[in-house]
Amino acid sequence: MDVSLLLIRPAAPEPIYRQIVGQLRRMIASGQLPPGEPLPSVREVAGVHAINPMTVSRAYSLLEAEGVLERLRGKGMAVAATHRRVQSEDKRMQLIEPHLRELARQARELELSPEPVLRRLGDLLEDEE
Amino acid sequence: MDVSLLLIRPAAPEPIYRQIVGQLRRMIASGQLPPGEPLPSVREVAGVHAINPMTVSRAYSLLEAEGVLERLRGKGMAVAATHRRVQSEDKRMQLIEPHLRELARQARELELSPEPVLRRLGDLLEDEE
Amino acid sequence: MDVSLLLIRPAAPEPIYRQIVGQLRRMIASGQLPPGEPLPSVREVAGVHAINPMTVSRAYSLLEAEGVLERLRGKGMAVAATHRRVQSEDKRMQLIEPHLRELARQARELELSPEPVLRRLGDLLEDEE
Amino acid sequence: MDVSLLLIRPAAPEPIYRQIVGQLRRMIASGQLPPGEPLPSVREVAGVHAINPMTVSRAYSLLEAEGVLERLRGKGMAVAATHRRVQSEDKRMQLIEPHLRELARQARELELSPEPVLRRLGDLLEDEE
DNA sequence: GTGGTCTAGACCACG
DNA sequence: GTGGTCTAGACCACA
């Protein structure tokens, strides 16, 4: 996997290690990163994005505890061989369901009509695709 | 304004005071809470939702500093008389733009196609309306 | 929960944070620590056992990710309210099954007869009970 | 000695070289591998179990330093001729004593009663014997 | 008061 | 080379 695929925003409210966890988890669920795929080393990620190795390590450890990654001793981390891509699009959608609900709530509080919201999201979804 | 309109989720990742700030800000921007509308007292909100009064107070203070609320001596807080509803729907949409972008990013990482995402969001937007 | 219940052995091969994770997980599974039971603060554990607060924090975080602990913001950690004691002794036994299998393997390699092994373990199990 | 007697679990928490050291040490202490018994070559072990030759070599070196193995020039490693089987079962039991104590501790933390634990271990000890 | 995050750096274990 | 562990310490966010 290419290090530059990771997008780190140090200023974002979401902690860095969680940004990494979230991105990797989604890219693995979608199959973009297949089982066995080696991950960039802690030091490489840290170096490229100018963050502390421990921050990266923390993200990797959490995903390992989750069973999404596995450690190949002395050789680094890789997508767990036992891990299976989440086939069904419905199941992958569940990962963003809370996000969708929150968005709907806020739109309602703002008394936005559905059309412009859907139109804008549609545009964003088409971008870069 | 009715206290029960506030939805507090103590276990949510978003801090409680920010939940309050966000909700009030949106309900005021949309005009659901008109200028002059009195807000429930800190003690009432804290009592009903079983949270710390300081947390409520903090939210109110932030909105006061923002100019959205004003303190009526001896009568508590109210929506600022000078405050005007954000008329244009486009401008209100800007409040959820970052949310939309983040959602689009995650959908891309999950390799979700636009249709089901839009369909699901559409359903949620219709609900309870 | 009393801090002194935790037994930390800094020299053991098992990392400190894992010792904490293991002990708490077992005491919670057995119901010794009931749902809602508050845990000693990170700083307290660290102070009493002369270890770094982050080491304790790491253990707590892992158990939180596992759903065994929950964070009460500003108030510390507690056994998750949703957590249920593992009722069946059989299920709790599964937590030491790998340990038992490893022990059996080693005993076989050492050509130990079952009796003395069982007798010794029996003695140890009676102790302090 | 037959290579296939070695059981290597690369994913186990115990490092590979220590798995080898432990197994050989126990099989030699019990007399399963008598003095003079030749060991499979580093390359053979590494090839069969698909592990790094250095890992095997490291294990052999440790046991050589311990005096349990000896290097026969040009002929590889063998169980040290001077090595004597640990006759007394009590002495061999000492090799698993820490393991037994740890097991007892965990059983206590899980509030397991002695009977089922002993019964299960008894079953495992009978297996394959 | 609580825990969370991140950094810097040292040292170890493994292959 | 890899990741793991731990420390020390700073700073922040929350209640």
User: What is the Cα–Cα distance from C55 to A33, expressed in whole angstroms?
Assistant: 31
The pLDDT tens digits for B40-83 are 999 999 999 989 999 999 999 999 998 899 998 888 899 998 87
C-alpha dist (Å) from residue A124 to A14, A117, B7, B101, B113: 21, 11, 29, 7, 12
Interface-testing mutation among C64, C72, C73, C77, with chain B (most B C-beta atoms within 10 A): C73
pLDDT greater at residue B124 or residue C4: B124
Residues D19 and D71 grouped into a single domain: yes
Structural domains of chain D, count? 2
Within a domain: residue C53? yes
- Check whether residue C106 has its CB closer than 7 Å to nucleic acid strand F: no
More confident residue, B86 or D52: D52
Q: What mean pLDDT is predicted for residues C99-103?
A: 94
Cβ–Cβ gap C128/D107 under 8 Å: no
Res. C79: pLDDT tops 90: yes
Residues C20 and C70 in one domain: yes
Give residue D110's domain range: 89-126
CA–C1' C15–E11 (A): 14
| pLDDT for the residue A129 | 54
Percentage above 70 pLDDT, chain D:
98
Asked if D102 and D42 sit in the same domain, the reply is: no
Distance CA B5, CA B27 (A): 10
Question: Is the pLDDT at D120 greater than 70, yes or no?
Answer: yes
In a domain, C84, yes or no: no
Q: What is the pLDDT of residue D84?
A: 79
Percent of chain C with pLDDT over 90: 81
Q: Is residue B3 scored above 80 in pLDDT?
A: yes
Segment D3-12 mean pLDDT: 87
pLDDT value of residue C43? 93
Do D99 and D75 lie in one domain? The reply is: no
Q: Is residue C67 part of a domain?
A: yes
Band of residue D128 on the pLDDT scale cut at 50, 70, 90 = low
The pLDDT value given to residue A128: 66
Distance of CA A14 to the CA centre of its chain: 12
Query: What integer is the mean pLDDT of C51-76?
Result: 92
Helix (H) or strand (E) holding A71: strand A69-72
Strand F contact with A9 (CB < 7 A): no
Chains A and D touch (3+ CB pairs under 8 A): yes
CB A78 within 8 A of CB A70: yes
Q: Has residue C39 got a pLDDT over 80? A: yes
Mean pLDDT of chain D: 90
User: pLDDT tier at C117 (50, 70, 90 boundaries)?
Assistant: very high
Helix H segments across chain D?
16-29, 42-49, 53-66, 89-93, 97-109, 114-126
Residues B51 and B105 in one domain: no
Q: Are residues C54 and C31 in the same domain?
A: yes
B65 inside domain: yes
Q: Do B115 and B55 lie in a common domain?
A: no
Cβ-Cβ contacts under 8 Å for A59 (sequence gap 6 or more): A16, A17, A18, A20, A21, A24
Are B18 and B57 in a shared domain? yes
Chain A from 49 to 88: CB within 8 A of any D CB: 70, 73-74
pLDDT bucket at D83, cuts 50 / 70 / 90: confident
Predicted pLDDT of residue D25: 93
D48 and D103 belong to one structural domain: no
- Kindly indicate the confidence band of residue B2, based on its pLDDT and cuts at 50, 70 and 90: confident
> If pLDDT is split at 50, 70 and 90, which confidence band does B13 have?
confident
Q: Per-residue pLDDT tens for D22-48?
A: 999 999 999 999 999 999 999 999 999
pLDDT level of residue D11 (50, 70, 90 thresholds): confident
Q: Does A2 touch chain B (CB under 8 A)?
A: no
Distance from CA of C67 to the nearest CA of B (A): 13
pLDDT of residue C128: 66
What pLDDT tens digit does each residue of chain A (129 aa) get? 888 889 999 888 899 999 999 999 999 999 999 999 999 999 999 999 999 999 999 999 999 999 999 998 888 999 998 888 887 899 999 999 999 999 999 999 999 999 999 999 999 999 865
D128, two tokens: 């394959």
Pick from D95, D101, D121: CB nearest C100: D121
Residue A114 domain-assigned?
Answer: yes
Complete DSSP assignment for B108-122:
HHTT--HHHHHHHHH
**A76 min Cα distance to partner chain C (Å):** 20
| Residue A40: nearest nucleotide (C-alpha to C1') | F2
Give the per-residue pLDDT at C129.
Answer: 54
- Check which CATH number belongs to the domain holding A52 and give it: 1.10.10.10
